Chain A
């Protein structure tokens, strides 16, 4: 099992003929993902990498039964692309695009709340259920199929580091996803934690957070109340100076809000296993998850 996506997920790629879209489509196809359609307005009727291209998501969904959209559309047009995919009724949207204006995302998030569509991202690496499908830009090769660990993170390459270390310890993953580094994202930590808790094959969880906002604190409170599985937490940005945006639009300590220390404290108080040293996170997980890994 896995969360949100599996080997039956049928993907339409919005922006499939762009440089990034084309490259990562080839990588997803190579991993075995069912990429059934692409959308580039004006290029409908063409075919690329054996995938039919349509002018609109509605046409793509009608012709191919796609139920998930992977978005590589440039930031100025990305909010529109997300809304179009939701309008076409896809169940899941994975938005990779970095740099979408925050007011655009605010409207998108509010609108999606009135639909049944789930959005992952934007500004995220996507989602992978190792051995089943890869819907995003992460390197497939570092993942190990078979579970039992679910990984959720705000970042891209930091997630790869974490997964790489898990795999190095022989610890497999059910699903790994990045929720995105922007201030406003579609799916939050709590949505993922709830799904991991409900997934029988996920028996332990790694949550990777960073400075800024209060999503980690809220997630910690949720874990204390509603998550029975062991959770390892890590927070990046202990040395980040206040008032500066650390690459991610959302990673900023404002006044006393959003510090790494406050998040670590909240996670510790919630009974999570807090790892403070990224260089040994894999071994830390092997230790913290020893009980569930044994069975």
Chain B
């Protein structure tokens, strides 16, 4: 799960990690009030969306006085921000963060992340603060310090020394950096982070370290033990169909194509999307109804797929195995009747009683096309696409 910058900073503050003073606002008036409360000028006004690259998209503005704050706030709050990470459609800005300016001497990059290859929490650090780390990694990988921490040991002083000396920090800032690393590591573990990125990490003209910008991502599988993080979920940042699917326990991702699809199991679902593409169409979604799949899941899934107006045809691919296909077919027919399908639906299913299942689909009188196997399903999807083009 992703959260906003102002929320990340709230968490950082609770772990005693220095961040600039700041207040979240949703209107120019409250932004103005917030700026006044900070007690110094200039202030920074930052768009709050769940995507990076905000500076490049014009989502961060410096304001030297009250008039400038009002202007920046009304601009940002009426804008759909397009950044390299939002895609061309951009993201509507509903919240802004008004923050005290910081006088910066130097900017660093610091990040903790789950390192799947090493089964470690890995620290990445670089002197190139403020830059896109993937760019730094691609052009000058030698400038990135990489320290893997064994979670059974936890962060040790020698890990910190590798970072401090790697960054070439002076004695005092080195101490501050070690203290910061310890707090970040504690927070990372305590909150089940997947990523905790401070970029840039500022060294101020007075020698203090401040997290100027911060991004946190949390392990969805661990949210059950962090109700205080779960409340940070912002449904404005999710597509409405995805949010609805999540309520039914379905894994749904909306995509740009027009062939909807519903599959049991994530791997087969990805492969089914690829088959749609190979058949000459584009998948409208990813939808995993779970390895088991039930008639109820199928009904909910079908409703969500057809809630997307782009969808011109649907492929249902259920490899039941142990699942009884006659029961599944009944579920599909009932769901199709209840929802009222308006587009052709190709159904491929495998499992016990498959012949009976196919008979139920064929006898339903609905626009349900049975496919004998995966290859047949691909052929029928291709035919569906061609029919659409004619």
B366 within 8 Å of A (CB atoms) = no
Contacts of A241 in B (CB 8 A): 253, 255
| Beta-carbon contact of B267 and A248 below 8 Å | yes
- Minimal beta-carbon separation of B322 from chain A (angstroms): 5
Our pick among A103, A210, A214, A243 for the contact of B85 (Cβ within 8 Å) is A243
The reply to whether A239 and B274 form a contact with Cβ atoms under 8 Å apart is yes
Given contacts A139-B322, A142-B321, contact A237 B270 (CB under 8 A): yes
Q: What 0/1 pattern do residues 252 to 266 of B give for CB contact below 8 A with A?
A: 010100000001111
Kindly provide the distance from the CB of A213 to the nearest chain B CB, expressed in whole angstroms: 5
Q: Which residue of B lies closest to A251 (CB)?
A: B266
B199 to chain A, nearest CB (A): 14
**A110 CB-CB contact with B under 8 Å:** yes
CB <8 Å contact, A103 and B266: no
Given contacts A100-B221, A139-B322, A239-B273, contact A106 B121 (CB under 8 A): yes
> How many Å from the CB of A120 to the closest CB on chain B?
16
Interface size range on A against B: 35 or more
A239 and B119 contacting across the interface, CB-CB below 8 Å: no
Selected from B192, B373, B375, the residue in CB contact (under 8 A) with A101 is: B192
**Using Cβ atoms and an 8 Å threshold, which residues of chain A touch B264?**
157
Contacts of B225 in A (CB 8 A): 76, 101
Complex: chain A residue closest to B277, CB-CB:
A239
Please determine whether A103 and B151 come into contact, CB atoms closer than 8 angstroms.
yes
B270 touches A251 (CB 8 A): yes
User: Smallest distance from the beta carbon of B251 to chain A beta carbons, Å?
Assistant: 4
B319-A155 in contact (CB<8A): no
Closest chain A CB from B151 CB (angstroms)? 5
Q: Which of A165, A183, A243, A247 interacts with B288 by CB under 8 Å?
A: A247
Residue of B nearest to A240 (CB): B270
Docked pose: A152 CA to B130 CA in angstroms: 42
Task: Tell whether, in the assembled complex, residue B268 and residue A155 are in contact, meaning their CB atoms are under 8 Å apart.
Answer: yes
B378 contacts which chain A residues (CB < 8 A)? 279
> Is A102's CB within 8 Å of the partner chain B?
yes
Let me know if A255 is at the binding interface, CB within 8 A: yes
Residues of B203-243 at the interface with A, using a CB-CB cut-off of 8 Å, are 219-222, 224-225
In the complex, what residues of B have CB within 8 A of residue A145's CB? none
**Does B81 interact with chain A (Cβ within 8 Å)?**
no
B221 in contact with A75 (CB, 8 Å): yes
Give A235-265 interface residues, CB cut-off 8 Å to B. Answer: 236-241, 243-251, 255-256, 260
Count, chain B residues at interface, CB 8 A: 55
Residues in A neighbouring B373, C-beta threshold 8 A: 279
By a CB distance below 8 angstroms, the chain B residues around A234 are 271
CB distance from A281 to the nearest CB of B (A): 9
Contacts of B350 in A (CB 8 A): 160-161, 164
A-facing residues in B306-353 (Cβ within 8 Å): 319-322, 350-352
Q: How far is the CA of A276 from the CA of B377 in the complex (A)?
A: 16
Q: Is A111 an interface position by the 8 A CB rule?
A: yes
Check: A107 CB closer than 8 A to any chain B CB: yes
Q: Tell me whether A27 is interfacial, beta carbon within 8 Å.
A: yes
Selected contact of B221 from candidates A101, A137, A214, CB within 8 Å = A101
Give the complex CA separation of A247 and B293 in angstroms: 14
Answer whether A137 and B277 are a contact pair too, CB < 8 Å, given A110-B151, A214-B117, A249-B220.
Answer: no
Q: Which of B117, B221, B253, B283 contacts A244 (CB 8 A)?
A: B253
Residues from chain A with a CB closer than 8 A to the CB of B288 are 246-247
Chain A residues with CB under 8 Å of B320's CB are: 139
Q: Tell me which of B85, B266, B373 has the highest count of chain A C-beta atoms within 10 A of its own C-beta.
A: B266
Complex-state Cα separation, A99 to B249, whole angstroms: 13
Decide if A291 is an interface residue (CB 8 Å cutoff): no
A153 at the binding interface (Cβ < 8 Å):
yes
Please give the residue numbers on chain A whose beta carbons come within 8 Å of chain B beta carbons, in ascending order. 27, 75-76, 99-107, 109-111, 125, 137-139, 141-142, 153-161, 164-165, 181, 183-184, 208, 210-211, 213-215, 218, 234, 236-241, 243-251, 255-256, 260, 276-280
Instruction: A76-B224, A250-B116 are known; give 10 further A-B pairs, CB within 8 A.
Output: A75-B221, A101-B219, A104-B222, A155-B267, A181-B267, A184-B116, A214-B117, A244-B286, A248-B266, A249-B220
Contact sample, A vs B, 9 pairs, CB 8 Å cutoff: A101-B219, A158-B267, A239-B255, A239-B283, A245-B220, A247-B267, A247-B270, A250-B116, A277-B278
